[in-house]
Amino acid sequence: MKITLEFEDYEEAEFHLRGGDYFSALHDFKNWIRSEWKHGDHDEKEYEILNKIYEQFNETLNDYKIDL
């Protein structure tokens, strides 16, 4: 299969061509939150906050059908 994309300018092209970078950044952030929750040294309130962020992050990814 061959797909051809055309863009009006470099800024528009760069936004679309950096999709792999965006994916990697999301993946790294998700893993960091999980690692902090699982292995971090936090008090109960901090764990609650991390859990809330993790749940919201995953919900947002699911809304956009992004599977990391």
- 1 found inside a domain: no
- 61 found inside a domain: yes
Structural domain of 58: 23-68
- Nearest CA to 6 among 22, 20, 17, 21? 17
**Residues 5-60: pLDDT tens digits?**
999 999 999 999 999 999 999 999 999 999 999 999 999 999 999 999 999 999 99
| Confidence (pLDDT) at 67 | 94
- 5 found inside a domain: no
- 18 found inside a domain: no
Positive or negative: CA dihedral 24, 28, 34, 35: positive
| Confidence (pLDDT) at 36 | 95
- 2 found inside a domain: no
**Residues 29-40: pLDDT tens digits?**
999 999 999 999
Asked if residues 47 and 37 have their Cβ atoms less than 8 Å apart, the reply is yes
- 6 found inside a domain: no
